[in-house]
Amino acid sequence: MQRIRLTERPDWRMKAESYGFPFHTIGGEVYWDESIAWRFSLREIEEDLEAPTGELEQLCLAFVAEAIKHPAILTRLGIPEMYWSFVRESWQRGDRNLYGRFDLAYDGKTPAKLLEYNADTPTSLFEASVFQWSWLEDQMAAGGLPAGSDQFNSLHERLVKALRNIRRGQHFLLHLASVADSQEDKATVAYLADCARQAGLETKELPIEQIGIDSGGQFTDGDDVLIRVLFKLYPWEWLFKEAFGRHLPAARTQFIEPPWKALLSTKGLMPMLWEMAPNHKNLLASYFADDPRCASLGDRVEKPLHSREGANIRVIRAGAETQSTPGDYGGPAIVQALAPTAEFPGGHAIIGSWVVASEPAGIGIREDAGLITRDTARFVPHFIEGE
């Protein structure tokens, strides 16, 4: 694993825009940064990232199967009691999931460690799946990287296939909802809609605010069309507490991600996994903040159960806070041992390791100045050196 400097494609900004990826630069700061690339060996990818990702996903699925039986766990994870059956039934019915992203600390020397699992509403998908892929093809064609290089990234192919399989190959209309005023979320949804059309589905994108309810308690779109299958780039914990939340259990809508993902898309998962598989080589010691065992952790990180984009996080080293981020997220928190991440002069990199339909599907790398990866992080492409 090595960080190298590379010549940028002269036309990458134009390409990004023609591909529908306008947020390559955010607030004047570069977000997609191809002046840098991370090089991996095939062994590092397959043994240190791909296999552990598959293993972590299996661990998570085993956790869901267990958690739905225990009110104490559901309570600890903050799932309101009125949704317990809703979550449980979605698991028992076998509602299919589409995708998720494990954020891993990996330095190329020690086993990758799970920082958190974005199981419900992961973004940075398009840049990982499409733009990173075309970057490699362009670099190989131009001689910037040796022909025969590769990339751990079968996201596009797997997304198309997984979407086709969501209803076991049946044709259906897929609604995709995201927050009206978030351009980045809209772009993620537009890309998934594109994948769905390639899978032969009909699609309809809509702002989540536009969703309506009919007299029978069924969800409708802005044209009064019933929503049968809904991809929602909107967290379960928010849906649960909003006005229409009470209609969720009785609606006959199939959700992507399914309700059982609510058990995984919380940092409360970290102490739960640690308890299930203590000392697993890819897990960090983690406890809920009110657990006295937190004292045993040494250098550590505190995170609220549901913070996003690195908000409200505190890093504590040698007993003193060394870094913290502001934010609006409060509530219960967890404490996690501090993990060694890939370092470079001036920053740290973390690996977003994707699963599609619970299979490892590729990685994307984000770099940020401090130890906490925030929405200011830069996305940096990677490649696998030829054999």
Q: Tell me which residues in 14-43 interact with other proteins (CB under 8 A).
A: 15, 18-20, 42
Judged by CB under 8 A, the chain residues 165 through 194 that form the site for other proteins are 171, 173, 177-180, 182, 184-185, 188, 191, 193-194
Q: Do 106 and 342 contact (CB within 8 A), yes or no?
A: yes
> Least distance to other proteins from the beta carbon of 111, Å?
20
Between residues 93 and 171, which has the closer beta carbon with respect to other proteins? 171
- Distance between first and last Cα of the chain: 15
Q: Binding of other proteins at residue 47 (CB under 8 A)?
A: no
Q: Least distance in Å: CB of 82 to other proteins?
A: 15
Which residues, at least 6 apart from 73, have a Cβ–Cβ distance to it below 8 Å?
66, 67, 272
- Nearest-angstrom CA–CA distance, 186 and 206: 9
**CB of residue 245 to other proteins, shortest distance in Å:** 8
Site stretch for other proteins (CB under 8 A), options 53-61, 140-148, 279-287, 335-343: 140-148
Contact 222, 208 (CB under 8 A): no
Judge residue 229's burial from the number of C-beta atoms within 10 Å of its C-beta, 0-12 exposed, 13-18 middle, 19 or more buried: middle
Cα 1 versus chain centre, distance: 22
Q: Quick one: 108 or 146, whose CB is closer to other proteins?
A: 146
Structure tokens at 128: 């990982």
Interface residue with other proteins among 154, 324, 325, 358 (CB under 8 A) is 154
Instruction: For the CB of residue 159, give the shortest distance to other proteins in the complex, in Å.
Output: 9
Site for other proteins in 66-95 (CB under 8 A): none
Task: Kindly tell me which residue out of 13, 39, 204, 314 binds other proteins, with binding defined by CB under 8 A.
Answer: 204
Q: What are phi and psi of 74, to 5 degrees?
A: -60, -40
Site for other proteins in 100-129 (CB under 8 A): 118, 120-123, 129
Which of residues 137 and 343 has its CB atom nearest to other proteins in the complex? Answer: 137
Residues 209-268 that bind other proteins (CB under 8 A): 209-216, 218, 220, 223-226, 233-235, 238-239, 241-245, 247, 265
- Interacting residue with other proteins among 137, 290, 299, 321 (CB under 8 A): 137
Number of other residues whose CB lies within 10 A of the CB of residue 12: 17
The verdict on 351 binding other proteins (CB under 8 A) reads no
If we measure between CA atoms, which residue out of 305, 300, 311 comes closest to residue 376? 311
CA atoms of 46 and 52, how far apart (whole Å):
9
Whole-angstrom distance, CA of residue 331 vs CA of residue 266: 12
Q: In the range 302-331, which residues lie near other proteins by CB under 8 A? A: 308-309, 328
Among 41, 134, 324, 325, binds other proteins (CB under 8 A): 134
Q: Is residue 229 a contact partner of residue 256, using CB atoms and an 8 Å limit? A: yes
Among 197, 280, 314, 317, binds other proteins (CB under 8 A): 197
User: Is residue 97 a contact point for other proteins (CB under 8 A)?
Assistant: no
Tell me 24's DSSP state. Answer: G
Residue 2: closest CA among 344, 366, 356: 344
Contacts with other proteins by CB under 8 A: the residue count is 90
CA atoms of 40 and 108, how far apart (whole Å): 9
- Strands 320-324 and 359-368 come out as unpaired
Among 79, 130, 166, 272, binds other proteins (CB under 8 A): 130
Q: Which residue, 213 or 277, is less far from other proteins as judged by CB?
A: 213
